[in-house]
Structure 1
Amino acid sequence: MLVWFLPAFLILLMIGLPVFFALLAAPGFLLWLNGQERDLALLYRNLYNGMDSFPLMALPFFLLAGEIMNRGGITERLVDFSQAFMGHLRGGLAHVNILSSILFAGLSGSAVADTSALGSTLIPAMEKQGYTRRFAAAVTAASSVIGPIIPPSGIMIIYAYVMGESVAALFLAGIVPGLLVGLGLMGMVRVLADRYDLPKAERIVKKGATISPLEYWVSFALLRANLAGLMVVIARALPGTEGLGWPLFAVFLVVAHLLLLYWRRRVSYDFRIVCKKAVAPLQTPIIILGGILIGVFTPTEAAAIAVAYALVVSFGVLRSMRLADLAEVMRRTAIGAATVLLLVGAAVSFKTVVALSHTPETLAGIILGLSENPLILLFLINVLLFIVGMFLDAGPAIIILGPILAPIFTDLGVHPVHFAVIMSVNLTVGLATPPMGLVLFVASSVSGEKVETIARAILPFLAVEVLVIFLITYVPAISMTIPRLTGFVN
């Protein structure tokens, strides 16, 4: 009888029961009917055990860091920075929208936050320049899926916890796929620019921008430290540089200063100010990934450091937040974290019933009966995940399908981290896929455009994202190279 828990779960979802309750009610009811009261007690006991995890604490911390930075007014700084660099291209504001999403991804890790924050700023600006509202909303929705792919990523933390994988490895594996999605979307904008006669643009640098002395010197120091650190990383790859970390850094710090002075003379004062105002917020992903890579802290500790940094930047450097703002930030974070953690706890219980019912073995037999060729099976699973993503959010879909599908493909020789990226990217794209894509509804709310019209306008961008999914699937090096080079994957 337990084999019916998945159909029961889907029926409960279709009648409108929230995912959390459906995850517990469907297997619980079937266990009770089957007379397995002991397993029923185990199911609900695991609800708490599933949430009681130190690694999982990274999730609320990353959510809090993103809320603080967003409340601190970083959206306008990122948009100004993106426009200074890409506003001169044909279809310039569409490119700015996509680049802003890439930058915002390193701060929030949330597609919904991306759509809401950037959409409220860029959709009216694009419409004012001559873009149709549906096109502006479609670009915003399509580019927002980059948020959960580029680290820090909430859904990858969930996947890592549920499946026992390394959070750091998944973070690193998501960098190139996220950038590839962004570049693909920019390529599609360039194709559509001529076809739909998108507005021409010129490089727009915000005039008269000011920067406080404290922020100026913080940006001054961070720029030189980051550039010198990058040079050290490159130099350390050469033979004979072992043990020369700090001496190399000191030398490259001088080199970085001279390079930036040379660059300073070639750009305008306003351009420099716009760039400097983006440095402090954009330091967040550098701190997170840099600290994890050099072994200073774990992903959970990195999340806590990100919160501390966000507070220092928002209150001390940018001075864009007040103490009164913290109550709303904490409230939004608590609601978001509670929702996700309850789902994860229910997923651990759900996973227990999956194991008891031997459903993975049954499903593995069915899948392997279709074909023994891993390439064909990966194609079929991508189609399945894409369909699931049309109706179910990425987090719950990973929680439900991860424990069932991952062991099958691991046994077929697909690396667990590679499959994690395939699944995460595919289901993330589902957030922008009709009919139930969450970011479509957020984009509709922000723009005032109907979901149906946004869904039609987004189709060319979805085609690009589907192409990227298959590239990631069949070219493992796209996602696996950085984790292997950094030693997080063998």
Structure 2
Amino acid sequence: MTLVAVTFFGLLLLGMPIGYVLGIAGVVGMLQIGGEQFVSMAPRRFFAGLDLFPFLAMPFFILAGEIMNRSGITRRLVEFADALVGFLRGGMAHSNMVASVLFAGITGAATADAAAFGNTMVPAMVKKGYSRPFACAVTAAGSIIGPTIPPSNLMVIYGSLMGVSIAGLFAAGILPGLLICLICMAVIAALGRRLNLPKGTERPSLRSILVAFRSSLVAMVMPLIILGGILGGIVTPTEAASIAVAYALVIGGLVYRTISVADLVEMCIRTARVTGVIFLIIASASILGWWMTFEKIPQLIAVTFLQISDDPAAIIAMILALLLVIGLFMDVNAALIILAPVLAPLTATIGMDPVHAGIMIVLALNISLMTPPVGACLFVLASVTGERVEAISRALAPFIVAEMAVLVLIAFWSDLTLFLPRLLAG
């Protein structure tokens, strides 16, 4: 066990990509317990880690988001959000947050949100008088709404690995995502006068709101197709994702006519690259996960936690602390794949609903997307805006605290998390 840990953390500190780190550490573990005979199982485990039908939903969701983003949907969603809340002090910051909610129902990925708004909203906010670090911080804080409100690739991974209803996870993610938006808007309002944030234009008329709504309507139909089909039991998540791609192609190619064949080829290549990275992590993690199961590490961690305390509240607090600390140093996809099989049985021991436990784990890892030193959204924003990660991190501090408060609320108030899944199931 020590050799595997040294290999894992040593390679991680040397800067090796996490997908390779996971695979090599898993192979070292197999060598340690069974020599060459066990190592020969690695290719089979590598394939078995990806041999799950729901995983097909991920490349489709990624491609649908690419198409909708390239077709100009982002601009239309921002215009609608600005028509709703742009007149407030810090109006563009509020618009950024509302647009993140609307955009989340299309992409389901935090980095896609950060890249899209980093290229559009951040320059516009700076031009209106916002500091660049604050504009980046607002965008980063809103970006994690993407993988919280469905569709969410992290929820697809968790549901597939742990046998939890993906539809239930999608339904349970809606309220937490909206809560994150509201609490971040409260932070913006609280900082408005202290930071002297620019105030928007006069309150919009009903006509201007309706015009903006009509312009963005075709974009907002897409989340309804995805959610309505899945939650209504009409289609599986994979089928809904493929329908979303077809709808995005029709909108981008025939309605808005902003996508060329060359654009489509480029988007397919980008989708393949992103999917390849995620699938490499999943497959490699399955090797390490097999070793952990063989060594009974999940049971060991569960026993250790229960020895510290058998109080459910204390165990939930320890789980949250573990997730937040691990998320500081590890890619969220890898962290989810490694920790979910460890933590899910522990949450079952204390009587947590599987959907509630899944949302808690996913949301905790989502927050790590914007925390240094390896927060993916921080580096995306730094690369597209030219702002330093350190400056963005300092401006993000109040938003991180606020979103952690939402995480604690979700973790300890199961009825709030499960309200929509129960309502839709009933």
TM over 0.5: yes
**What per-residue deviation string (whole Å, max 9, x for no partner) do you get for residues 70-119 of structure 1?**
11111111111111111011110000010111111111111111111112
Report the Cα distance in structure 2 between the residues aligned to 1:480 and 1:316, rounded to whole angstroms.
39
> Quick one: which amino acid aligns to residue 414 of structure 2?
P
1:303 aligns with 2:241: yes
CA contact (8 A) 1:83 1:204 kept: no
Structure 1 distance, partners of 2:123, 2:105, is 24
Rounded to whole Å, the distance in 2 between the matches of 1:325 and 1:203 is 38
Query: What are the within-5 Å matches in structure 2 for residues 47-446 of structure 1?
Result: 47-203=46-202, 267-268=206-207, 270-446=208-384
Structure 1 residue runs of 5 or longer lacking an equivalent are 206-265
Residues 301-345 of structure 1: per-residue CA shift (max 9 Å, x gap): 111111111111111212221222111010001111111112222
AA paired with 1:435? P
SS of residue paired to 1:35: helix
Q: Please report how far the alpha carbon of residue 273 of structure 1 lies from its aligned counterpart in structure 2 after TM superposition.
A: 2.8
Q: Is 1:457 matched with 2:395?
A: yes
Q: 1:483 to 1:175 in 2, by over 3 A?
A: same
AA at the equivalent of 1:392: M
1: CA distance between counterparts of 2:29 and 2:232? 48
Cα displacement (A) at 1:204:
7.8
Q: Compute the displacement of 1:123 (Å).
A: 1.0
Aligned-partner residue type, residue 326 of structure 1: L
Looking at structure 2, the residues matched to 34 and 158 of structure 1 have their Cα atoms a distance apart, in angstroms, of 28
**AA in 2 matched with 1:319:** R
Say if 2:385 is the partner of 1:447.
Answer: yes
Name segments (4+ residues, structure 1) moved above 6 Å: none
Equivalent of residue 473 in structure 1, options 377, 402, 411: 411
Q: Is the 8 A contact 1:185 1:464 kept in 2?
A: yes
Give, in whole Å, the separation in 2 of the partners of 1:446 and 1:24. Answer: 31
**Residue identity in the other structure for 1:106:** G
CA contact (8 A) 2:292 2:298 kept: yes
- Separation of aligned partners in 1, 2:173 and 2:391: 30
Q: How many percent identity over aligned positions?
A: 43
Deviations 1:156-179 (A, max 9, x none): 111111212111111111110011
| Partner Cα separation in structure 2 for residue 293 and residue 34 of structure 1 | 44
Q: Given residue 341 of structure 1, which amino acid in structure 2 is its aligned partner?
A: F
Aligned counterpart, 1:486: 424
Comparing 358-367 with 185-194, which one deviates more in the overlay? 358-367
Pair member with larger Rg: 1
Instruction: Provide structure 2 residue ranges, at least 5 long, that are not aligned to the other structure.
Output: none
- Residues 256-307 of structure 1, C-alpha deviations (whole Å, 9 max, x = no match): xxxxxxxxxx733x54332111000111110001011222111111111111
CA contact (8 A) 1:315 1:321 kept: yes
Cα displacement (A) at 1:478: 1.9
* Structure 1 Cα separation of the partners of residues 382 and 247 of structure 2: 33
Is the partner of 2:193 in helix, strand or coil? helix
Offset at residue 3 of structure 1 (A): 6.2
1:144 is displaced (CA, Å) by: 0.6
SS at match of 2:206: coil
Count of aligned pairs between the two proteins: 426
Please list the CA deviations of residues 395-417 of structure 1 after superposition, one character each: whole Å capped at 9, or x if unmatched: 11101111111111111111111
Tell me which moved more, 180-189 or 114-123.
114-123
CA gap 1:467/1:309 in 2 versus in 1, 3 angstroms:
same
Query: What is the TM-score with the length of structure 2 in the denominator?
Result: 0.96
